Structure formats: structure tokens, C-alpha cells
A and B are shown apart, each in its own frame.
Chain A
């Protein structure tokens, strides 16, 4: 468990909280959340390498991701359930393919030598400042999400997750709310992506594979859909787990294929075990266990929003 793992875990948590808002509360599944992380990363990298002030790049990252999500969301959010899941995945594949072929994005090599983030004369360098920055970002993201969930629009989101027809007939502006929450979760991902670009110092299409998008969904579901703590716990657990597995395989005396075999095998096994024995996610299951241990009368827990099944 090193500091760099912590930075990446905190960044992943920011993305996962946004995705949890989208999946758990608004019921819209996105299999392409890494594409907004990518847009944020590339925006920050492009601005910084073209000698614009770096703090401007950091501000532009979430803005660019949100604008992209708003533009994409108008046609895409007409799709529901599995179709939306596929559409977001397709968008990411298209973006990856395009980014790998344009000269201004650096093609397959990507953008190298991104300068360190400098805010008001203070230069971020090393792990600790970035860890603090990522932590502050996560706190801001979590607070914004919490306040939205507790507000009137938040109730509207939960209503439209259950039934869009019923929600719109009760006066919830369904299309506008869906677009807003889609853009907001994209902005969170874009902000995290911007910080990632400055922290790592380079971006390329290989930094944002499709597996990363799937990982975010796994983090949300493993942690527990529809809870901010769940998304955070899931993100930290998965990131640390993958790091530990990589370190295990890279020890001396291991055969060359050991890291990949070990990390894939154990990761897959743990995923299956977690979902079979704690299908509601880590956090809700732990809370329920704790309540049972301390003999508190547990209040009836609301059922997590399921993916709308299409028959």
C-alpha cells in the first residue's frame, strides 16, 4: 500500500461516486465512464502542453467532460437499460480509436511531458500534495452528491429510475434531470482525469482501456449501489486489491506470466465470491451485519435500484 496507490484509489473513488449517482439513484447504467475520465485527462494535458496555465487546464477538465456528456447525452439518453450501457461503451471505443489516430492528440503515443500542476505559485510535486488534492476532490464530490440526493431533484431522480412515465406525470422534468445527472457524473470523472494527467505526467489511449470503465461499474456494484460510502469503499477496495495482486506476482522467483495469471485469477474469484455472498454490496451487507450484532431494530432498507429488466 503505497501513496501512489492511495492517489489512484481516491481518484477512482471520485469517479465511482459520480457513477453511483448515475446508476444507483437515476438508474442509468454507463459502461463508458472512463471516456469522461479520458476527456478530462486529455483536456488538461492538451492545455498544459500548449503552455497555458496548468490551473486553467484543471478547471477545463471537468468543464470539457460535462459539455461532452451534455452533447452526447441528448441522443444517447433516449436509450434505456442495456442499450444505454452498450451506447456508452461504444462511445468509449470510438473515442479511443479516434484519439489513437489524430496527430494533435499524439496518436498511440499520447501526450508526454505534462508539466506539474501549479496553483497560485505553489507547484504540486511528489505523492503527498496530489494525495491531498485527490482527497479534497473526493470530499467535494461526495458533498455535492449527498446534497443532491437529499434534495427535491434527488427525489425526482429516484422517481424516474423507478418509472419515467410516473415521474413525468408527477411533474419531474425527466429528460432534463437525466441529462443533468449524466453531465454531473461526467464532470466528476473529468476532474479526476485532469488530476490523473498531472500526477502521472502523460496520457495515451492505453491509459484509458475499456476494462477501466468496467472496473468503475464493478467498484460501484461491489461497494453497494446507491450509496456514496459504498462507491468509495468499492473503489478503494478494488484499486488496492489490484495493486496488491500485481505486487505479489512481480516478486522474485515467479515465472514471467505469474503477475497476469495471479491478478486475473484472484481478481475474478474474489469478484464472484463477493457478489455471491454479498450481492447487495460490501457496505450495505456490513451495515446489516453490524445492526444484527448490536441488536438494533434495523429500519427497512430501501431496495437498491435494479437495472430495469426488459422483457
Chain B
């Protein structure tokens, strides 16, 4: 039983990281209809930056916060490049974010080399019954819960959040009532950068990251986000937690080498099952 509990908590922690990435993807896609393939890169940048700042002597907390801000800035940059040229469709915007990801690869290799890096997070473990839970895992879960708890009132109660929601539901109407849709898109990209950066800072102590970890991160984040059709944060969170827990369980009880296969196959099965229950008419009506 204790082993099960350990796998569950570590799986939830990894799932929370995916959920933060997915929520960044969802935020950006809701407002701008762009699928941001540079989302995993934000996490890598933040994780690497936090490591460098810590080794430069900054205290914990401050270093991580600064790293998340850097990721937010990078998000804003990607947004500026993607959104400020009008007339580009969503398809070409996707390729632009891909290009941004490649440019970031070059910068990351120049700055940090191509070896996997990590930094110590919260050391030690808590004993629950006869199971040992890493403190870092609990930190990840706690921070993610707090962020999701803050995001909901942000989108429903603040002016900025309401403006973002308005762009998400109907950009034309939002423009008609005087909301600057492009600026809201930039805000969404910055927010996506901050969320991705938070994921990177939280996950790096658990698993070392290198410049090309973003492929793994974006795949899992994308899987979770697509679960909520890239527009709804709730299902994205559920999908991310499912992914993380299934991967941890397969790695713990079965074979670690099959964890990705099982998790992805399960996601596919659920998606196909859900799609089969909707008629094409319902689908097109929901556009």
C-alpha cells in the first residue's frame, strides 16, 4: 500500500507540471487560436535560468521567481513575433512558434551546453504511515493547486481576465467594445510563459532537463491540453493528472520503458471514445 501511495504522489507531482504547461497552451490558444509549440521551451528556459541563478548565489525562492519572470519575458517575445504581423493564419503562426523553439535551442546550447542539468529543490522526505513522500513533490502539488485556484478568479473577476475571456469567446465582438485584441494576445503569451516557466522550475529538481527536453514536455502538455479541446482548463487538468499518475504506476508496477506507450495509448482511447459520442453536426455547431 505504501508503494502505491508513493507512486500516486510522485505521479500527481509530474502530472501537475504537465497541467501547468497545458494551462499555458490553453490560455494562449483560447485568446489567439495559436497552438504554441514553444510552450515546452519556456519550462526549459526557466529551469536552466533558476539553476544558474542558484549557483550564482541567489537564495531559493528569489532565484525561482526571477527564472519564472524570465520565462514570461520570453513568452512575450514569442508573442510579439507571432502576433504583430497581421494576416498570418493559425497554421503559419504554429510554424512561427516552432521556429522560435529552434532559435531557443541555439541560445540554450550557447548558454548552458547540451548536458542535462538540475538543481536541488526541497530536500528530504515526509513520512506518511510507512510511505516516504518527497517534499519537492508536495511543493509541486501545492503550488499548482494554488495557481489553478488563482486562475479561476483571475479569469472571472478581474478586468484583465474578463477581457481575455471576451477575446476567447468572440474576438470580433471584443474588438467592437474597445478591447485591444492584439494586446490581449500578448498578455496571453506572457501568461503562458509564466505558467510554462513555473512548471520548469518545479519539475527540474525532480528530473534533470536538457535543451531538448521540451519535446517530451510539449508532447505531454499538448496531450493534456487536447483533452480539453485546447479551450477548457478543467479537462486539461484532469488529463494531465491522469497522464502523470498512469506513467508513474506503469513505471512502478510494470516496466518503466513502457510508461509512455501505456499513457499515450490510454489518452488516445479516451479521446476516440469521447469523439465517437459526438456527431459531426454537434462538432461543427460548437465552432
Contact = CB atoms under 8 A, between A and B. Distances in A.
B226 A82 contact: yes
Contact of B283 (A80, A89, A222): A80
Contact of B272 (A76, A93, A98, A280): A76
A164 interface: yes
Q: Interface majority SS on A: helix, strand, loop or mixed? A: helix
Contacts of B113: 257
Contact of B268 (A90, A214, A265): A90
Contacts of A94: 260-261, 264-265
A309 B219 CA distance: 20
A276 B96 contact: yes
Contacts of A261: 106, 109-110
A103 to B, nearest CB: 14
B139 interface: no
B260 A93 contact: yes
Interface string A77-93: 01110110011011101
B276 interface: yes
Contact of B261 (A76, A98, A264): A98
B100 to A, nearest CB: 7
A299 interface: no
A214 B212 CA distance: 14
B284 interface: yes
Contacts of A214: 98
Contacts of A311: 33, 169, 231, 286-287
Interface in B161-185: 169
B226 A83 contact: yes
Interface string A200-226: 000000000011001001100110010
A149 to B, nearest CB: 19
Nearest to B278: A78
Contact residue range for chain A?
A: 35 or more
Contact of A164 (B109, B257, B284): B284
B183 to A, nearest CB: 19
A265 B264 contact: no
B103 A265 contact: yes
A261 B276 CA distance: 45
Interface in B256-272: 257-258, 260-261, 264-265, 267-268, 271-272
Given A221-B91, A265-B102, A276 B85 contact: yes
Contacts of A272: 81, 96, 99-100, 103
Interface in A90-112: 90-91, 93-94, 97-98, 101
A264 B100 contact: no
A170 interface: no
A306 B223 contact: no
A168 interface: yes
Contacts of B268: 75-76, 87, 90-91
B89 interface: yes
B226 A268 contact: no
Nearest to B102: A268
B102 A260 contact: no
A82 B229 contact: yes
Contacts of A87: 268, 271-272
B74 to A, nearest CB: 14
A257 B99 contact: no
A147 interface: no
Given A75-B272, A276-B88, A210 B226 contact: no
Give 6 closest A-B pairs by Cβ, nearest first: A268-B102, A265-B106, A271-B99, A268-B103, A272-B99, A264-B105
5 contacts: A76-B268, A79-B272, A89-B222, A306-B91, A310-B287
